[in-house]
A and B are shown apart, each in its own frame.
Chain A
Amino acid sequence: MATETAANNNKSVLWDWLTTVDHKKLAVLYLIAGALFFIKAGAMAIFMRIQLMSAENTFLSGQTFNEFITMHGTIMLFLAVTPLIFAFMNFAVPLQIGARDVAFPFVNALGFWIFFFGGLLVSLSWFFGGAPDAGWTAYVPLSSGEYADLGLDFYVLGLQISGLGTLISAINFIVTIINMRAPGMTMMRMPLFCWTGLVTSILIVFAFTPLAAGLALLMLDRIFGGQFFMPDAGGNPVLWQHIFWIFGHPEVYILVLPAFGIISEVVPAFSRKRLFGYTAMVFATLIIAFLSFMVWVHHMFTVGIGPITNSVFAIATMAIGVPTGIKIFNWLFTMWGGKITFNTAMLCASSFVPTFVLGGVTGVMLAMVPVDYLYHDTYFVVAHFHYIVVGGIALGLLAGTYYWYPKMFGHKLNEKLGQLMFWLFYIGFHLTFFIQHILGLIGMPRRVFTYLEGQGMETMNLVSSIGAFMMGAGVVVLLINIVYSAFTSERITVRDPWDARTLEWSTTTPVPEYNFAQTPQVRSLDPWFYEKVHGEGLMKPAEPMDDIHMPNGSILPLTIGLGLFVWGFGMIMLEMANPIITPWIVIGTGVIITFGSMLLHSIHEDHGYHIPLDKIKKIEKEVG
């Protein structure tokens, strides 16, 4: 039954945030969680660069260094960048398609809490004998029970759980984008960020499921004595590499496509031009997504699978350069002849383009099989993928942060500090990673904790470390900026502080919980811009003012996440030498909490509540 009143007047703030199903609040939760993991993994990178600053340094032991490389990669990919893109997708996608909320608000919250508890489980490994240390790829036999300790059980189960959260969030986004669009918002009128969000979610659905399978196999091998990867018993270690990279290669595109989307929003907004070649951009995105599933063997060229296989996958890999090139030119042509404003968001977005080209070029170099034997497992590879993930994804996320910040928090970030951050970060980034190409070419292997004197590597490593410190300083400036701006920036009361083009800027600031008092009628691509120029400056409503139906909050997403956490921890306890309580009790508790919460949710029919019309009118008058 629908309760007719909004019951959140007497709730505490904390309870409100723990039970929220509002996509805007979940976006903030994702942003905070992602930022915390980002800072953690970033600090590890700084420590590793201190260790590599001079030859035969003893700042970190080899074991700690291995744990740091593993955790740095794992956290950055699964627990930092994924939630950060989800933060922006959660916030912007429903607003951009003119929806009041996502398709499954409960599942949205569930996805966040499952991800969060999964991340917590991975992080817990530090307190139980050390973090995983087999690299983020966890190749067997290095990750088998024979060579890796308890840390890897945390890796396997933590990622299994957080991957589940990511998967259901992705399903939610797909259904939202397909089913919840406002009238007139056809697929080919959607902002490019929605398109990349859709394609990323599809990639997640088809890539995280093989990962779940692979992690399950590794778990069975480690905890229950399976023989999948043990050659003695008929197993095959190459199997893991295949399964991992069937997931692992699309994963790169899962992360970079939303960054492409953000760039495609920021560049037109600050060039005062519509996006050049919108249709080509959409199809390039789809082609990239398709090809990303057909190239995974290029990570395994040196395994020795055979020359025909290597050639086929090399050609497929090079083919990805074509749609990506289309995108690069479209961004350039969007800026060409535009009236460009170089604020921080635009600085990040425009500098993304050349940086990403550099990463792409080295990618094509690595796709050539014969020379890949030379580059493989050297710093050249490290430099290549950091040009993609830092120069591509991180710059995209920074651009998104500065761009959407006023809508999310009601004030802009300080521009002076922003530009300082950009230059520190950008120069530091190139200083760190450009030189690593050369280090790789003269033969410095990756994932090794030190190097010898007199091999010509000292100076270049020092330069690289100095660059890393600059990047760290840039991030610190960003954090200072967030605090500083919260106190000193003036509140934004207008709808559209950037004079932008897409539908999220047609909402009032701050965005009311129901987003749109009346669902907007979309008449064109860039609907908000269209109404500003051709219409009356406000979106035309597609429906009369009426009561608005809203979902109720629930604590169950959190308890399901908690249940999975306990369950996973119990599984790890099976491997512990002397657990304090019987692992099966812990597992049982976790299972009961998980399925009990699911059962409660299923049995209790909750149709949400309605916000009455007079209350909506009051809110609209206040903010409008």
Chain B
Amino acid sequence: MSDDLSKPFSQSALSHEEILKINRERRIQITAFAFMIFLTLLAFLAVGMEMVEPGFTIPFILLLAVVQFVLQLFYFMHLKDKDHQWPNAFMMTGIVVATPAVIALVLLLGVTKY
């Protein structure tokens, strides 16, 4: 068995349906990419052109970032696929643990008392 590990393959074991499925998935990925570019543009325009009301800009671009973050993780990094439960669990743990840490480092430095 281990001899097979360094051998290339002359063909792929994918069936026709599986290839179609992969192609469909690839189209979805490209759509997701286009959407991400759109979100990025929106964020830059919101700041650069001051399109959005001042005071509302920061929540708006943060929201865009979170949406893009989710798209990247779930589409490009395949977190939406099945048999990704453990990766999901570790990513979620990372986010859950990181959130209070960031908030504390921003707010709880003793400059303003909460």
Contacts and interface: CB of A to CB of B under 8 A. Distances in A.
* A and B held together in a complex: yes
Interface of A: 1-2, 178, 202, 205-206, 210, 236, 238-239, 242-243, 246, 293-294, 297, 303-309, 549, 605, 607-608, 610
A202 B109 contact: no
Interface residues of B, number: 20
Contacts of B94: 206
B84 to A, nearest CB: 13
Which residue among B110, B112, B113 has the maximum number of chain A CB atoms within 10 Å of its CB? B110
Interface in B1-45: 2-3, 5-6
Contact of B105 (A178, A243, A307, A308): A243
- Give the residue among B86, B109, B112 with the most A Cβ atoms within 10 A: B109
Contacts of A2: 2-3
Given A239-B105, A242-B105, A293-B100, A305 B113 contact: yes
A236 B93 CA distance: 28
Given A305-B108, A305-B114, 13 more contacts: A2-B3, A236-B110, A236-B111, A238-B109, A238-B110, A242-B108, A242-B109, A303-B110, A305-B110, A306-B108, A309-B114, A607-B6, A608-B2
A309 B6 contact: no
B110 A246 contact: no
Contacts of A178: 86
B2 A246 contact: no
Contacts of A307: 113
A607 B5 contact: yes
Contacts of A1: 2-3, 6
Contacts of A308: 114
A251 to B, nearest CB: 14
A220 B105 CA distance: 18
A236 B3 contact: no
Contact of A206 (B3, B97, B109, B113): B97
Interface in B85-104: 86, 90, 93-94, 97, 100-101, 104
Given A305-B114, A308-B114, A210 B6 contact: no
Contacts, number: 57
A293 B104 contact: no
Nearest to A243: B105
Given A178-B86, A246-B101, A607-B5, A206 B93 contact: yes
7 contacts: A2-B3, A202-B93, A210-B101, A236-B109, A305-B108, A308-B114, A607-B2
Contacts of A549: 2
Nearest to B108: A305
Given A1-B3, A2-B3, A297 B104 contact: yes
Residue from the set A305, A309, A605 with the largest chain B CB neighbour count within 10 Å: A305
B91 to A, nearest CB: 11
A297 B2 contact: no
A305 B110 CA distance: 5
Contacts of B109: 236, 238-239, 242
A293 B102 CA distance: 13
A210 B86 CA distance: 22
Contact of B6 (A304, A305, A605): A605
Contacts of B100: 293-294
Contacts of A202: 90, 93
Nearest to A206: B97
B21 to A, nearest CB: 26
Nearest to B5: A607
Contacts of B3: 1-2
A206 B97 CA distance: 8
A297 B101 contact: no
Contacts of A293: 97, 100
Query: Closest 4 interchain pairs by CB?
Result: A306-B113, A306-B114, A607-B2, A2-B2
A242 B107 CA distance: 11
Nearest to B1: A549
Nearest to A174: B90
A239 B111 CA distance: 11
A304 B2 contact: no
A305 to B, nearest CB: 5
A294 B93 CA distance: 13
A218 B110 CA distance: 20
A183 B3 CA distance: 25
B95 to A, nearest CB: 11
A236 B104 CA distance: 13
A376 to B, nearest CB: 16
Interface in B48-105: 86, 90, 93-94, 97, 100-101, 104-105
A12 to B, nearest CB: 28
Contacts of A238: 108-110
Contacts of B5: 605, 607
Contacts of B108: 238, 242, 297, 305-306, 309
Nearest to B101: A246
Nearest to A310: B114
A304 B86 CA distance: 40
A304 B97 contact: no
